[in-house]
Chains A and B, each alone.
Chain A
Amino acid sequence: MKDSSKLRGLVNKWEDEAVATTVKRFPEREKKFETISGLPVNRLYTPLDLEELDYEKDLGFPGQYPFTRGVQPTGYRGRFWTMRQYSGFATARETNERFHFLLEQGQTGLSIAFDLPTQIGYDSDDVLAQGEVGKVGVAIDSLSDMEVLFEGIPLDKVSTSMTINAPASVLLAMYIAVAVKQGVSMDRLRGTIQNDILKEYVARGTYIFPPKPSMRLITDIFKFCSEKMPLWNTISISGYHIREAGSTAVQEVAFTLADGIAYVQAAIDAGLDVDDFASRLSFFFGSHSDFLEEICKFRAARRLWARIMRERFKAKNDDSCRMRFHTQTAGCTLTAQQPDNNVVRVTLQALQAVLGGTQSLHTNSRDEALSLPTEQSVQIALRTQQIIAHESGVGDTIDPLAGSYYIEALTNKIEESAVAYIEKIDAMGGAPTSIENGFIQREISEAAYQFQKSVDESRRVVVGVNKFTVEEESKFDYLRVNPKAEKEQVKELKKVRLARDEEKVKKTLDHLHTVAKSDENLMPPIIDAVKVYATLGEICGILRDVFGEYKAPDIL
């Protein structure tokens, strides 16, 4: 106490004398400094800001509750994060080639981007799929496409992340079926399905069914995997898209963890024991452009989730409290202007994620504000991670920024502010209700609009966009997705439909219909259906019949 009052005196003296004199001659750049999320940033942080910090309780040790310092006892000293570039376009054949290229370049895990019809449960020959087939990802209509996608890739050797939500069960079923054909049993499969429907309603838009049956599909997966796929991450609760839609860092943490709370509660309500499934929950965050704030965000999210699991859900197992997450650098910070500058942005954002202790990382390519990335751009993005891993040395000691007065103070601030948001959401009845009443959507939209205005009014500088601009003449050589992909895919689909046993397809789909109306687990009948080459559209069609479709309120 005596020490801190002495220090307080010294800080005041420094402010009154040294700072005041300097500011008089050289005014500071801003009257008030703030993080990109609007949190106040003081001139200086000292031990006075951490007087309340209790090392054991608030930080602890890596690999131990509350996991503030990371989830691995040895950090990156044992193994680096998984370098996992999200990719997929055109047909399964073309994407399979890109996968082989990435693995040859030293990528350590796969991450599949599906096209929009696949994500929304339409076959490539559906009228609503027109123009969208193979555009933002690979088109998968049936098991046949999935077989081609993983040709020459042993599924017991790689881990695969699939960005698939509403039809996650169907794609997981196809993955299991391909593995079985390769002679790999499902208990050995490692990977992740995104399977996070709540954020689709607020930020990403690839929902199909209303919330209730959607939550059932999710808890059915939890149940199925807890028995049969112990290494599989059953969900990736995602803040990335919430952030990309315009939220602040605090909102990203709060809304993501509020969604997480809703999933855990739904699983408990469905009769599962929290310690049977919680260790397979995983998370996904963005890495935006405020360097220090983002590092604090990752640390705060980890600590807050641990506390929620232990205190709110009474998890007994520490593994249930361990937040593992994937990170992607922020697509919304990429500029179409002077695209090479994006390499620098991505480098900083990747470094933040590593300093924040991510388990896996996707680095965006410089050309993604223009189109899907070229092979060359993807290579630079992957090399960025490899340089951070192998040359920068930041992975040699664990959580190296811990103990910094600012880092710990801001970590606390983000956690506190997220807790306040979650309390508000709880008071409304939880995340599903606050999505239904539009609260979360409006909060995100408001933050997005304010951000854009600050850029338009040049209160915030975006290099190359509102400052340091140039007359651009250079034409960037961007990727053009094979324009024939849609036609080729539709042709392939026709072949599959002709070659399969229609009788079996009908039988499995009828059975699926019956199960969908009951409260039995949906995974087994979906696996049966994909095995006989029922298509994604047919399977989702059955579920649409039984569950109905979600219609979003149009909230500006």
Chain B
Amino acid sequence: MSSSKKIRVLVAKPGLDGHDRGAKIVARALRDAGMEVIYTGLRQTPEMIVRAALDEGVHCIGLSILSGAHNALFPRVMELLKEEGIDDVLVVGGGIIPEDDIPELKKAGIAAIFGPGTPLDEIIEYIKANVKL
């Protein structure tokens, strides 16, 4: 990883969920950690998220859902990324995600899930260590 290149991250809220406290806090923390952050705002379809990721040329996508729609929407984002031939973007997720759902999400390609109570530093370090620049 070259130290001169800035990590670009898209923080996205898929689905209809309006809980954005976590997404906004993470977005701000990543920015404070020196990354370039684009926040999508609420009510993004998987298509909109993948389009934004392409347009912005991001290295990482952070998805946040607290409504329980993660099993439908997270894998859909991964599918669309694959269709676009993108396999080098690190995708992580957060929100209210039951433990039992995590293995399936990982199988779909979500690299890590950060639940409630995760320290911001842990997310920052994870992205720094795993992102491909």
Q: Do chains A and B interact in one complex?
A: yes
Q: Which residues of A contact B (CB under 8 A)?
A: 116-117, 119-120, 122, 128-132, 135-136, 200, 204-206, 244-246, 332, 334-337, 369-372, 445, 448-449, 452-453, 456, 462, 465-466, 475, 478, 480-481, 552-554, 556
Q: Say whether B116 faces chain A, with CB atoms less than 8 Å apart.
A: yes
Contact (Cβ within 8 A) B42 A128: no
- The chain A residue with its CB closest to the CB of B100 is A480
Partner of A475, one of B20, B37, B99, B115: B99
Provide the residues of chain A in CB contact with B39, threshold 8 Å: 554, 556
Given contacts A448-B21, A554-B39, A556-B28, contact A117 B96 (CB under 8 A): no
Interface residues of B in 26-49 (CB under 8 A from A): 27-29, 31, 37, 39-43, 45
Contact A452 B68 (CB under 8 A): no
Q: List 11 A-B contacts (CB under 8 A).
A: A128-B16, A128-B45, A135-B67, A245-B20, A334-B116, A336-B115, A370-B96, A371-B98, A456-B121, A480-B100, A481-B68
What DSSP secondary structure best describes chain B's contact surface? loop
User: CB-nearest residue of chain B relative to A475?
Assistant: B99
B28 partner residues in chain A, CB cutoff 8 A = 445, 449, 556
Complex Cα spacing A196 to B61, Å: 33
Q: Across the interface, which residues of B come within 8 angstroms of A475, CB to CB?
A: 99
Q: Hey, which chain B residues are within 8 Å of A336, CB to CB?
A: 115-117
Asked if B130 lies at the interface with its beta carbon under 8 angstroms from chain A, I say no
Q: Is B68 touching A136 in the complex (CB atoms < 8 A)?
A: yes
In this complex, which of A369, A481, A553 has the most chain B Cβ atoms within 10 angstroms of its Cβ? A369
A483 nearest in chain B by CB position: B71
CB within 8 A of A448: which of B18, B25, B115?
B25
Write out the residue numbers on chain A whose beta carbons fall within 8 Å of the beta carbon of B45: 128
B79 sits at the interface (CB 8 A): no
Known: A337-B117, A370-B96, A556-B24. A130 touches B72 (CB 8 A): yes
- Report if B19 contacts A (CB, 8 A): yes
- Give B40's nearest chain A residue, CB to CB: A554
Query: Which residues of B are found within 8 Å of A448, using beta-carbon distances?
Result: 21, 24-25
B68 to chain A, nearest CB (A): 4
B interface residue numbers (CB < 8 A to A): 15-21, 24-25, 27-29, 31, 37, 39-43, 45, 67-69, 71-73, 96, 98-100, 115-117, 119-121
Add 7 more A-B contacts to A128-B45, A200-B18, A205-B17 (CB < 8 A). Answer: A132-B17, A205-B18, A336-B116, A369-B116, A370-B96, A372-B68, A480-B98
B99 proximity list for chain A (CB < 8 A): 370, 475
- Chain A residues with CB under 8 A of B18: 116, 200, 204-206
Is there contact, CB below 8 Å, between B69 and A135? yes
Q: A66 to B132: give the CA distance in the assembly, Å.
A: 62
Shortest Cβ-Cβ A-B pairs, 3 listed: A205-B18, A131-B72, A554-B41
Q: How far is the CA of A69 from the CA of B121 in the complex (A)?
A: 45
